[in-house]
Structure 1
Amino acid sequence: MQLGTIEYSYDEKRMILDKADLELDPERLNVVIGLNGSGKSTLFDVVAGALPADGFQPPFERAEILYQLQQAPLPPMLKGKDFVRLILKSDRTEPFRTLWETYVASLREQERSRLERLQDLRLGQMSAGEKRWLVIRTVCHLDRTLYIFDEPTVGLDPESRRFVVEAIGALLARQKIVLLSTHILHEIAHLPCKMHFLHHGKIVYSGSYHAFVARYETDNPDIAFERFLSEQPTA
């Protein structure tokens, strides 16, 4: 899916997105990587329609896009089960009991134990990682066409990270389009993904993870990332 050229600037001095050409693969996870400050969050804001950019039309109506922000504010007094109710009932008309049973059945055994502990705990009492797991695990049950996740695994322990990555990956089986960002390149090594390297507001690489790493004769994506950057012209 070709989204076209995206340009965005907060002022006249510096282009945040400078003719960024983004083509999404509907059959793979689309993973945007890049340095801090490279424009990843701005790119997501524009694609989601949260930030208008001249000449760019979001690919879908807002109701068809789920955009999970890295630090979305959540009501601290809301309990875990009530949060799940709030999210799932925003999309469905079935009784919550039915939605809850389906939701619980989709979880791994370890996740069910975690949910049992978190369902009566207030969001303000949960750790950042627990909230992130609960949020992403829940929103993946909503029915959208495009899902956008801004660094969904940041702050998660290895087990939670695996659960979250599996949940996001399962969206592909439902014929959903997924766009996400990460700084943890190792976690996408075994995922069906297309990488998009954003640098100085431009997409300077689009292709497979394995092709990206192999060009530098290493199996360490962090080394490949560093060597790739060294080849790029300065701003």
Structure 2
Amino acid sequence: MTTNALHAGAKPVAFPGSGPALRVERLDKRYGGRAIVDGLSFQIARGECYGLLGPNGAGKTTTLRSVLGLTPIDGGVIRLLDHDVPAHARQARTRIGVVPQMDNLDPDFTVEENLLVFGRYFGLADAEIRRRIPGLLEFASLESKRTARINELSGGMKRRLTLARALVNDPDLIVMDEPTTGLDPQARHLIWERLKTLLGRGKTILLTTHFMDEAERLCDRLGLVDHGRMIAEGAPQELIARHVEPEVVEVFGDDAFAWLERHRAAMPGRVEVSGETVYCYTAEPERVLSYLRDGGRLRYLHRPANLEDLFLRIAGRDLRE
């Protein structure tokens, strides 16, 4: 994997195999008699970015671990890069890159040594790994940190190194569990740029995320999971159009609830109240806006519906622990 091959101008790679990158059918996983994953089915085409979304405890991480053969399953079929899992999970994992939810870099090694040692797990010769390292460091914008220890890196640098490490074996499929959690906006945008580069090269990405803007930017298709079940699946904009009214007016301020009570009966669309905010979901935003003219001390935001609205519509607003 050369430096040039890691950038957007590179030609898409040819895919081995003919089936989807991942096929999951009726996946079941239980702990203590409780269903964590309950008959879950989805598949990912080669070269696609697919996002698994859902509240905490929905079964996303368990699904990822099952797909990788790291968690035994209680039922179902997993076909990963033309290998049956868990029977042939080890063979499949040689073509997989994994970015875990928490960074697990070795603090005793330098940046370069972390890449070198990790590459050995895939049976790569040291000479081949060293040939790949400059391109990986450039991809992660860490060329100047080659000899730095892990404790000298910022959180964003560690996350970029974890992504680069996942590419050391030039994988066909990259599995990412909340890849930008805890990062500042600049670091998140840089990670997004790098992931788009990988998609431009024809790589396949499976990710979980709690950032709805991240899912909208990156994912070709989404699967919304709750209580271990698939509750909605499709392209982001298609799902929004299917499940949510097109426009949203958020009303907040000291008089928001009194304003709502005056106009609730005539409100064109669906209304939700969360905290101190009234959410008006509607296809007739001008009518809602006209009611705000006599609203007193009110502030409001008028915007198109987005993926966060979809998530809250399907999964609800109750906090999950």
2:73 aligns with 53
For 1:50-89, list aligned pairs within 5 A. 50-55=70-75, 56-59=77-80, 60=83, 61-88=92-119
Q: Distance in 2 between matches of 1:50 and 1:209?
A: 29
> What is the aligned-residue RMSD (CA, Å)?
2.4
User: 1:168 is matched with which residue?
Assistant: 195
Contact kept? 1:151, 1:181, Cα under 8 Å: yes
2:310 alignment partner, one of 215, 220, 224: 224
Listed as ranges, the gaps of 5+ residues in structure 2 are: 1-19, 84-91, 247-303
User: Which residue number in structure 1 is paired with residue 262 of structure 2?
Assistant: none
Are 1:40 and 2:60 counterparts? Answer: yes
The answer on whether the counterparts of 1:140 and 1:167 sit within 8 Å (CA) in structure 2 is: no
Distance 1:19 1:79, change over 3 A: same
Q: How many residues align?
A: 224
CA contact (8 A) 1:68 1:148 kept: yes
**Which portions of structure 1, spanning 4 or more consecutive aligned residues, are displaced by more than 6 angstroms?**
none
Distance change in 2, residues 1:34/1:24 (3 Å)? same
Listed one character per residue, the Cα deviations across residues 154-191 of structure 1 (whole Å, up to 9, x for unaligned) are: 11222222222233333334433221100111123233
Deviates more, 1:25-34 or 1:80-89: 80-89
The code of the aligned residue for 2:65 comes to: D
2:194 counterpart letter in structure 1: A
CA contact (8 A) 1:48 1:67 kept: no
Instruction: Say if 2:31 is the partner of 1:10.
Output: yes
- Structure 2 residue aligned with 1:133: 160
Percent sequence identity is: 25
Question: Computing the radius of gyration over CA atoms, which structure comes out larger, 1 or 2?
Answer: 2
**Larger relative CO (CA 8 A, sep 6+): 1 or 2?**
1
Note the alpha carbon deviations across 1:187-226, whole angstroms, 9 max, x for none.
2323352101011110111101111223311333222211
Amino acid paired to 2:93: R
Higher strand share: 2
TM-score where L is the length of structure 1: 0.83
Unaligned stretches of 5+ residues in structure 1: none
Partner of 1:99: 132
